[in-house]
A and B are shown apart, each in its own frame.
Chain A
């Protein structure tokens, strides 16, 4: 083990190299995500935030390195172990990735139907609870994804990601496309869930308010590596040019003054 503290890292990535189309997207990247924390992941557009998330989820093959999720190396795990890990995480994809031929309610119930043997009544009620938790009105339940707005798609996708009350949720830009009030509610919801369920949140975001409000720790991705990680205070002290510009530039300052 590289890390001296073999404590509660739910995700442990070591020297991950990912090459897509002869382009090295991730270069010897290492990252730990601790149990129960909200990790905010930032980086310029196209630096590989989505690729890293997909690599952790096992959707993108890596050239070198190892990734453990909940203590299991998914490359070496048996099919059964993989399945059991997969039901312990929830994923919100950048584009929502809702099943287009299922209604909103069916989308949210889909993982429950696959993994739990529940009565239809309980599934309906739980799915409605989830939808209301993410701030959707009851009348969306029978709509199809093509009939929803971008922000509503994000919310339904979050409800589906939370369907099984997972231990880890991966969120790829959850608040982009939401109005500021909606984004604030979203942050609050993530906070509530994290506190009550002990949820670990891995969140790719560009929302400076989210970063200030709910992230326990922030990691910055640049040139295929995590260049800085730490609390918002660490970010504000960093002298790396990109980090400086990001957190202490014009918009960064606005977010800081909003906190004050």
Chain B
């Protein structure tokens, strides 16, 4: 094989001529060293009038070597120096021809300045926000239309799909929702007892826990969990389908992806979230009750009695009525983001992150709007 000790390119100046003797393996592993030698030879060749290159001792030559040879030839030609190559083995001709034909057109990138790119960036960000709003509203509209089509013709609802998604987002989510809400309820009660005890007002813990859980925490925690658990899954699924042209395939078969993919998913979510909210709220009360009993010695009878006094059906309604709207927001955001996925794996990741962040943000904003609304109507 290659003689490692042999320099890849030896140069000697003879009068006004630069004599180059090439040897060894002009291949990929040696390309870095060879590049330096070639550039050096070009620089020296420019100062002299002729360059003579003897390639006879080269044993191996691949695309890397062929290109560097081409670079040497072009470097000399640009400077107007004549170059002659001798002793080139026949077997290298094919690859050298390939190299000779390449890199003829230089692809220069247009360059924008710092200010220009900042302005362009701001413009792009604004356009993205506007586009986001438009897309979400459009998706809502499309869903309303799809729902109306189902109302007119109930047979067109993809019931199997709805049940399948209900199984995934509702039934399979029950254990984790219960676990987390029990813990949240327990923590709220523990903190309440700890502080109220100082005023001898431990029994008010039940007021705080009941109202907080029923009106706010139950639905909010469950909605946030579902946004992270199911919203992200929806985005990833739809995005992967978009990437692999499955959605285009549906279009060409005359099917509307909204009917086939989005409506069943969103519908399942709208059904699931109230159920999970109910279960979650009960679990939180249970967790809080357990802490009151074990930590503050408040017997379950007293806890339940107090709870019954405090909690009216209003509190329950306030909490539960928010759930379907939050589900709708999560479903719409997840679907819009999924449909936005471009061809790359990276964009799938970006869109999934965006889906979770946006839906959690919107769920909290929506909760705030509901709080103002209920305050206004005095509930």
Q: Which residues of A contact B (CB under 8 A)?
A: 100-101, 112, 116-119, 122, 125-126, 128-130, 132-133, 138-139, 141-142, 144-147, 162, 164-165, 192-193, 195-197
CA distance A218 to B326 in the complex (A): 63
A-B contact list, 14 entries, CB within 8 Å = A100-B243, A101-B344, A116-B29, A117-B32, A122-B68, A126-B64, A132-B101, A132-B103, A142-B107, A144-B343, A146-B243, A147-B343, A193-B95, A196-B94
Q: Write the chain B residue with the least CB distance to A112.
A: B28
Q: Is the CB of B102 within 8 A of A116?
A: no
Which of under 10, 10 to 19, 20 to 34, or 35 or more describes the interface residues of B?
20 to 34
Q: Is the CB of A128 within 8 A of B102?
A: yes
Q: A101-B346, A125-B71, A145-B344 are in contact. Are A195 and B102 (CB under 8 A)?
A: no
Q: Which residues of A contact B91 (CB under 8 A)?
A: 195-196
Partner of A118, one of B35, B98, B109: B35
Q: Write the chain A residue with the least CB distance to B344.
A: A100
Q: Is the CB of A133 within 8 A of B98?
A: yes
Q: Write the chain B residue with the least CB distance to A101.
A: B346
CA distance A132 to B67 in the complex (A): 12
Say if the beta carbon of B238 comes within 8 Å of chain A. Answer: no
Q: Is the CB of B95 within 8 A of A145?
A: no
Q: Which residues of A contact B35 (CB under 8 A)?
A: 118-119, 122
Q: Is the CB of B345 within 8 A of A129?
A: no
Say if the beta carbon of B136 comes within 8 Å of chain A. Answer: no
Q: Which residues of A contact B102 (CB under 8 A)?
A: 128-129, 132-133
Within 8 A of A (CB), among B98-120: 98-99, 101-103, 105, 107, 109
Partner of A196, one of B31, B92, B101, B347: B92
Q: Is the CB of A126 within 8 A of B63?
A: yes
Q: Write the chain B residue with the least CB distance to A124.
A: B103
Q: Which residues of B contact A141 (CB under 8 A)?
A: 107
Q: Which residues of B contact A165 (CB under 8 A)?
A: 27-28, 62-64
Q: Is the CB of B71 within 8 A of A146?
A: no
Q: Is the CB of A164 within 8 A of B32?
A: no
Partner of A100, one of B93, B94, B343: B343
Least CB distance, B160 to chain A, in whole angstroms: 26
Within 8 A of A (CB), among B24-42: 27-29, 31-32, 35
Q: Give the one of B31, B92, B243 with max A CB within 10 A.
A: B31
Say if the beta carbon of B342 comes within 8 Å of chain A. Answer: yes
Q: Write the chain A residue with the least CB distance to B38.
A: A122
Q: Write the chain B residue with the least CB distance to A197.
A: B62
Q: Write the chain A residue with the least CB distance to B29.
A: A116
Q: Is the CB of A133 within 8 A of B63?
A: yes
CA distance A35 to B347 in the complex (A): 42
Within 8 A of A (CB), among B44-90: 61-64, 67-68, 71
Q: Which residues of A contact B68 (CB under 8 A)?
A: 122
Q: Is the CB of A125 within 8 A of B346?
A: no
CA distance A125 to B32 in the complex (A): 13
Q: A197-B62, A197-B95 are in contact. Are A146 and B31 (CB under 8 A)?
A: no
Q: A100-B346, A132-B101, A196-B92 are in contact. Are A125 and B107 (CB under 8 A)?
A: no
Give 8 nearest A-B pairs by CB, closest first: A146-B343, A101-B346, A100-B344, A165-B62, A196-B95, A129-B102, A132-B102, A192-B94
CA distance A130 to B98 in the complex (A): 9
Q: Which residues of A contact B98 (CB under 8 A)?
A: 129, 132-133, 192
Given A132-B103, A165-B62, 4 more contacts at CB 8 Å?
Answer: A101-B346, A132-B102, A138-B107, A145-B344
Q: Which residues of B contact A162 (CB under 8 A)?
A: 63
Q: Which residues of B contact A118 (CB under 8 A)?
A: 31-32, 35
CA distance A112 to B64 in the complex (A): 11
Q: Write the chain A residue with the least CB distance to B106.
A: A138
CA distance A138 to B105 in the complex (A): 7
Q: Which residues of A contact B103 (CB under 8 A)?
A: 125, 128-129, 132
Binary per-residue interface labels of chain B (229-271) against chain A in the complex, 1 for a CB within 8 Å, 0 otherwise:
0000000000000010000000000000000000000000000
Q: Which residues of A contact B107 (CB under 8 A)?
A: 138-139, 141-142
Q: Is the CB of A192 within 8 A of B343?
A: no
